[in-house]
Amino acid sequence: MRRFFDPRAIATGVGMAAIICAASLAVAAYGLENVYYASVFIPLAMLCCLAIAWFSFLRDDGFSGGRAGAPEPSPAEPAVIPNPSASPEAGAAAFEALGREAPGGPGLGFYAPRDGSLVRRGSVSRTAEGGRSGAAARAALLWAAISLGAAAALLYSLTGVGASFYG
């Protein structure tokens, strides 16, 4: 609830709603030449904002079947192991070469298994500020939806946009 009343989320949501309202009115007035269509586009954008926020919440909550916040395990990358039976010295040298990084090449973390058992992998949605960027984005989307609903209601009641097709 703290993120919902964040001033940055409110400003972002109201700004998104203003841009969506301006684009809806422009497309309706100049593209379709009837302002009535703005009363269709604005609530449609409101529903899209709510759907994006809801599906984002379900994804982060782990509702889709995976564990919440954990990457899916996958098999390890194949490893090239030298043949030590050719000569013990050549095998030992080859194993030592595997432990060193080639100059200009990728680090040894590049060859770690993808399941995160050696190198811890973080979720893409997590950030340095504690992984709350998804919550802030959802709060902005909810404020945009609230603003779009209020704008649609005001346009209908004060100016009559959407009250009749022929006007």
| 75 within a domain of the structure (yes/no) | no
pLDDT at position 4 is 83
| 81 within a domain of the structure (yes/no) | no
> Which residue from 164, 167, 151 is spatially nearest to 41, judged by alpha carbons?
151
Note whether 41 and 32 are within 8 A (CB): no
Summarised one tens digit per residue, pLDDT across range 132-152 is 678 888 999 999 999 999 999
Q: What is the span of the domain harbouring residue 1?
A: 1-64+130-167
| 119 within a domain of the structure (yes/no) | no
Note whether 13 and 147 are within 8 A (CB): yes
| 103 within a domain of the structure (yes/no) | no
Cα distances from 151 to residues 2, 25, 36, 96, 167, in angstroms, run 25, 12, 14, 68, 20
pLDDT band, residue 50 (cuts 50/70/90)? very high
| 39 within a domain of the structure (yes/no) | yes
| 93 within a domain of the structure (yes/no) | no
Note whether 124 and 1 are within 8 A (CB): no
| 13 within a domain of the structure (yes/no) | yes
pLDDT above 70 as % of the chain: 53
pLDDT at position 27 is 93
How far is 137 from 55, CA to CA, in rounded Å?
Answer: 12
pLDDT at position 149 is 92
Burial of 24 from C-beta contacts in 10 A (0-12 / 13-18 / 19+): buried
Write down the pTM of the prediction. 0.59
Note whether 140 and 13 are within 8 A (CB): yes
| 94 within a domain of the structure (yes/no) | no
Domain count, the chain: 1
> Which residue from 167, 165, 166 is spatially nearest to 40, judged by alpha carbons?
165
Concatenated DSSP letters of 42-93: HHHHHHHHHHHHHHHHHHHHTTTSSPTT-PPP-PPPP-----TTS-HHHHHH
Summarised one tens digit per residue, pLDDT across range 77-135 is 555 555 555 566 665 565 555 555 555 555 555 555 555 555 555 555 444 444 567 88
